[in-house]
Copies of this chain bind each other. A is one copy, B any other.
Amino acid sequence: MATIDIARRVYDHSWKLDPIVRSLLDTDFYKLLMLQMIWGLYRDVRADFTLINRSHSVRIADEIDERELREQLDHARSLRFAKKEMIWLAGNSFYGRHQIFAPDFLAWLVDFQLPEYDLRREDGQFVLNFSGPWTHTTMWEIPALAIVNELRSRAAMKGMGRFDLDVLYARAKAKLWEKVERLRKLPELRISDFGTRRRHSFLWQRWCVEALKEGLGEALLGTSNVLLAMDTDLEAIGTNAHELPMVLAALADTDEERLTAPYRVLEAWERYYGGNLLVVLPDAFGTTSFLKRAPDWVADWTGFRPDSKPPIEGGEEIYTWWRLRGRDPREKLLVFSDALDVEAIESTYHYFQGRVRMSFGWGTNLTNDFEGCAPGPRDGLKAASLVCKVSSANGRPAVKLSDNPQKATGEEAEIARYERLFEFEEPSRAKVA
């Protein structure tokens, strides 16, 4: 006796929009931590963000309907923090600390709204820019990426039958569970979901996080997604991102000031946060350069997050630096978060086990790995390398070098200028691969 909920069926028929982002908490935790600091210290800075598709062969504007993209972005702009979300932000403890968000910041957050966007098509790509106060544009990064990625998934699945979809998700679930079973063999693993921005869809990310929770138990530290952290009673995970040194470097009036930007960011951060939130992201203008010039107190921070070198090479460089600075790496933390798949997690885990504390921030390969899952070829289901980066601050161009030239962002002349200034060492091709 199959009973059909007629009202629901009719409601489903009459959908105008199936919103992708339904809450302002559906973002990465580091955005809120950074926002509090930006709001506190850089309230008057204007910062522009730009969507960048590093996968040039993927012509996103041919895959996605512009009207649908606008509807989703408009819907995200209609969101406000809900009352229960504000109460949770105020009442929950993060990284073991109560009231990490100050009452005056939260009072400001109540009225927060995503600012306007500027969208046009150009040569098969969308040019999507967010201009305005840094306190607002910064918050577009994650929802913009999640929206574009999920619209790509939806487009790729358009026309698939009920059965094809069933097989697609059955395979993706089976595939993820194979990974969980492999990771379960690493007894001291500490891992988090970092997959919001590149996720296949919100519902799929939620399934993946629940799978990790069920399968890995204590090994799962939490999720970077604040909404999922709240809904599934997991820890919200994340610290800071490249945009902080990028903006401070862009605002610098002299090269000398620019060279100190990465460390001034850390000084400011330390005034706001402590303990396990003291994780250095060293690669904005090259890790080697960063370590060479770093004041000694940087070595007192809890850990580093190498983000653009191969994990063992990147971790080893920091490990050696700690030893040179007279610190015991066994008391330090390395957070690996770049391009992780199960093989990379396993090899990195075994390489550093016992030498340093480790955790892994698992992104694209967790929440958007549908390779081999579709009954036929579906290129659109392959995750594209999309980012949303700050492009200028108070009208001055912003630059990111990172340790991988393919991940550099900014105008070419500016990149070259930064490379000279920070004495950027071009890594060999072999190292990048």
- Does residue A171 face the partner (Cβ distance < 8 Å to B)? yes
- Does residue A177 face the partner (Cβ distance < 8 Å to B)? yes
Number of copies: 2
Closest-CB distance, A234 to chain B (whole angstroms): 15
- Does residue A173 face the partner (Cβ distance < 8 Å to B)? yes
- Does residue A163 face the partner (Cβ distance < 8 Å to B)? yes
A11:B3 contact, CB within 8 angstroms: yes
B-side contacts of A164, CB under 8 Å: 214
- Does residue A159 face the partner (Cβ distance < 8 Å to B)? no
Majority-rule SS of A interface residues: helix
B-side contacts of A169, CB under 8 Å: 170
Closest to A6 in B: B5
A177:B167 contact, CB within 8 angstroms: yes
Q: Which residues in window 1-35 of A have CB below 8 A to B?
A: 3, 5, 7-8, 11
A214:B177 contact, CB within 8 angstroms: no
Closest to A207 in B: B166
B171:A214 contact, CB within 8 angstroms: no
Closest to A215 in B: B375
Closest-CB distance, A366 to chain B (whole angstroms): 16
Q: Which of B3, B170, B214 contacts A170 (CB 8 A)?
A: B170
B174:A170 contact, CB within 8 angstroms: yes
Closest-CB distance, A7 to chain B (whole angstroms): 7
A 173-213 to B, binary, CB cutoff 8 A, 1 in contact else 0: 11101000000000000000000000000000000001100
Cα distance A167–B164 in the bound complex, in angstroms? 18
Q: Knowing A5-B8, A8-B3, A11-B3 touch, does A171 contact B167 (C-beta < 8 A)? A: no
Cα distance A211–B8 in the bound complex, in angstroms? 28
Closest to A214 in B: B163
- Does residue A217 face the partner (Cβ distance < 8 Å to B)? no
- Does residue A161 face the partner (Cβ distance < 8 Å to B)? yes
B-side contacts of A210, CB under 8 Å: 163
Closest 4 CB pairs of A and B: A170-B173, A5-B5, A174-B174, A170-B170
